[in-house]
Amino acid sequence: MDIKFNKNEDSNKLLVSELKRKLAKVHLGGGEKKIEKLHSKGKLTARERIDYLVDSMDSFLEVGAFTADGMYEEWGGCPSAGVVTGIGYVSGRQCVVVANDATVKAGAWFPMTAKKNLRAQEIAIENKLPIIYLVDSAGVFLPMQDEVFPDKEHFGRQFRNNAKMSSEGIIQIAAIMGSCVAGGAYLPIMSDEAMIVDKTGSIFLAGSYLVKAAIGEDVDNETLGGASTHCEISGVTDNKYPGDKECLDAIKRIFDRVGDNDKAGFNRIESKPPKEDQANIYGKFPNDRNAPYNMLDIIHCLVDDSEFEQYKEHYGQTIVCGYGRVDGWSVGIVANQRTVVKTKKGEMQMGGVIYSDSADKSARFIMNCNQRKIPLVFLHDVNGFMVGSRSEHGGIIKDGAKMVNAVSNSVVPKFSIVMGSSYGAGNYAMCGKAYDPRLIYAWPNAQIAVMSGKSAAKTLLQIKVSAMKSQGKEISEEDQQKMLDEIKAGYDAKLSPYYAASQLWVDGVIDPLETRKVISTGIEAANNAPIEKSMNVGVIQT
């Protein structure tokens, strides 16, 4: 191996090591003392419940592990937004699982908790997957109720989704394993089956203190809304169980009897590992986002048997399009090429930039995949569309619009992996969050923004210096450099993939070696939802 490979490998492995350290901290939720307190009540933690419920944690794909990372610090933080969500298998059936983490502010709902819960429901709805709620929550975090309760995409939207999913035949099972209060009480009861754990589970619109304040009645919480009350008197819950494990066992039995769905029919054959060692991604993918590399080297580490058939190989070469398989699934791949390309006309095209010809090629490829019912995988490392008079005169906006139109109207499931840069309109054309990828994950080297930190800082500095000069102020070169460094530092902090993950712009940050798992899990989920309409791209000018 050459020295460049070794440097890349060292750099990427350090980033993966940092990722694993951050995940280990997140997995502790509210901390070891809170975990011990939960155990002393005979309860499992949210992650322990999922571990016991699913067939294997190796095949569990967590969604939103870093949600709310670095947020709500004035309240002590809210790791993973106080809820654990993901896609796993229960009795062999693929499901979405949502588990409140009672070690984090008693499982209370912060603004990002609502956003994350709605994302989990969105995955279930899009893919027609059953969803399991493991409820253990104190309800809305009252100091922030104005950011959680009233708006369209806030707390109440989940109950609307409950109703919509029931109407669409999507199975919803809820287990009340701790507190379930106020408006949150509707979630399990709007599910198809609601079970409750005796002595630790409780459900009511108002707790004993509020009942006393509101109507003067003295009643304890167990009598008010415990398992016996709701299984024997009110009929609100269906069955009670003596402990967490017994309740989770009941959920396993439910899914052991569930019939199969109609399938979308995506093509799959026997899975084969790549011939190229997947770990070579570490050495072939540069940490320096200005360094050129051949995207085909990365693709060969990801696709089955390292077999990849290019579409229009010698045209529009700053985007690679082609067909391959991931874990047996047939996929169409759209990936930014980072090498400098020399065209047949002798022109040099910068890697990582979308030109008119590459946008045109991609649009046509996306339409082909839709016609053939082949899921799409987008591998992002893009600086944006080419700018300048030559590109504008050549109609870059028109050709870029073709690609964005094709991505927007695609009906086959789309999956995005942000490997490196994902800047400006390039993010849109490559199926960024706004374009409904079924799943979108980032590598530890990823950056999502309008432009790079360096470019943005220079632009912002020019604006600031110009404003100061218009006020008659002079600024030295030294002060300008200091201002540039400060602007860049602030901008760069929001370029981090962990920042993107905290906002749920991406579903998570992953080790590059998990990429095949993400894509395969996503396509298997999507295969549960038959495609009911054909692609209509509207008017695309030629």
Question: At a CB cut-off of 8 Å and minimum separation 6, what does 172 contact?
Answer: 130, 131, 132, 133, 162, 165, 166, 190, 191, 192, 193
Instruction: Estimate to the nearest angstrom the gap between the alpha carbon of 383 and the chain centroid.
Output: 22
Q: What is the pLDDT of residues 114-166, one digit of tens each?
A: 999 999 999 999 999 999 999 999 888 888 888 888 888 888 899 999 999 99
Beta strands 309-310; 131-137: pairing state: unpaired
Per DSSP, the residues of 9-30 read HHHHHHHHHHHHHHHHHHTTTT
Say yes or no to pLDDT of 328 above 90.
Answer: yes
Question: At a CB cut-off of 8 Å and minimum separation 6, what does 346 contact?
Answer: none
Query: What predicted TM-score, i.e. pTM, was given to this entire model?
Result: 0.93
Q: What is the pLDDT of residues 375-405, one digit of tens each?
A: 999 999 999 887 666 766 566 778 788 999 9
Beta-strand (E) ranges in 346-438? 348-349, 353-354, 376-382, 384-385, 414-423
Report the C-alpha gap between 447 and 449 in whole angstroms. Answer: 7
Q: How many CB atoms lie within 10 A of CB 13?
A: 14
Pull the structure tokens for residue 60. 């569990």
Report the C-alpha gap between 399 and 363 in whole angstroms. Answer: 9
Q: What is the pLDDT of residue 420?
A: 95
What integer is the mean pLDDT of 402-414?
A: 96
Say yes or no to pLDDT of 203 above 80.
Answer: yes
Report the C-alpha gap between 125 and 526 in whole angstroms. Answer: 10
Q: What is the pLDDT of residue 48?
A: 98
Say yes or no to pLDDT of 344 above 80.
Answer: no
Q: What is the pLDDT of residues 345-382, one digit of tens each?
A: 666 777 789 999 999 999 999 999 999 999 999 999 99
Please list the residues that pair with 378 across neighbouring strands: 334, 416
Q: What is the pLDDT of residues 455-467, one digit of tens each?
A: 666 777 677 777 7
Q: What is the mean pLDDT of the chain?
A: 91
What integer is the mean pLDDT of 225-242?
A: 90
Say yes or no to pLDDT of 168 above 70.
Answer: yes
- Evaluate whether 226 touches 488 at the Cβ level (below 8 Å): no
Say yes or no to pLDDT of 309 above 80.
Answer: yes
Question: At a CB cut-off of 8 Å and minimum separation 6, what does 48 contact?
Answer: none
Say yes or no to pLDDT of 538 above 70.
Answer: no
Say yes or no to pLDDT of 44 above 50.
Answer: yes
Say yes or no to pLDDT of 56 above 70.
Answer: yes
Say yes or no to pLDDT of 540 above 70.
Answer: no
Q: What is the pLDDT of residue 541?
A: 47
Helix (H, G, I), strand (E, B) or coil at 129: coil
Report the C-alpha gap between 443 and 498 in whole angstroms. Answer: 10
